[in-house]
Amino acid sequence: AQSVAQPEDQVNVAEGNPLTVKCTYSVSGNPYLFWYVQYPNRGLQFLLKYITGDNLVKGSYGFEAEFNKSQTSFHLKKPSALVSDSALYFCAVSSASGGSYIPTFGRGTSLIVHP
């Protein structure tokens, strides 16, 4: 079975400071990793993904994430946070297990960027 852990329910950061939203995963075989963002009363929007290749993945809105196989982590980062980055962030993992590629989501982390 595959699983995702987002250990922080909420992350607070000041505008202009770097931010990190943590994600660790457990999966059989090669992981396919994703970050999504959700603004209030909206569906989820794709931010970035890791399938294969470079461990550092760059995505939308200046976000990036680093795949660390030994630590089974895929933390989301941004060098300089904006107030508009305040939202709910979800990490997800899928794999070829059983041929299904059905994603498993973390519980979500609320990011609050203070002016």
Contact between 48 and 34 under an 8 Å Cβ cutoff? The reply is yes
Query: Which stretch in 19-27, 28-36, 55-63, 72-80 sits in contact with another protein by CB under 8 A?
Result: 28-36
Among 21, 23, 36, 65, binds another protein (CB under 8 A): 36
**Residue 23: C-alpha distances to residues 42, 75, 98 (Å):** 22, 5, 24
Among 23, 94, 111, 113, binds another protein (CB under 8 A): 94
Among 8, 22, 44, 75, binds another protein (CB under 8 A): 44
Query: Which stretch in 13-21, 57-65, 67-75, 99-107 sits in contact with another protein by CB under 8 A?
Result: 99-107
Q: By CB under 8 A, is residue 41 in contact with another protein?
A: yes
Nearer to another protein, 19 or 48 (CB): 48
Nearer to another protein, 16 or 102 (CB): 102
Distance CA 103, CA 51 (A): 13
Contact between 74 and 89 under an 8 Å Cβ cutoff? The reply is no
Task: Look up tokens 């680093």; give the residue.
Answer: 66
Contact between 2 and 94 under an 8 Å Cβ cutoff? The reply is yes
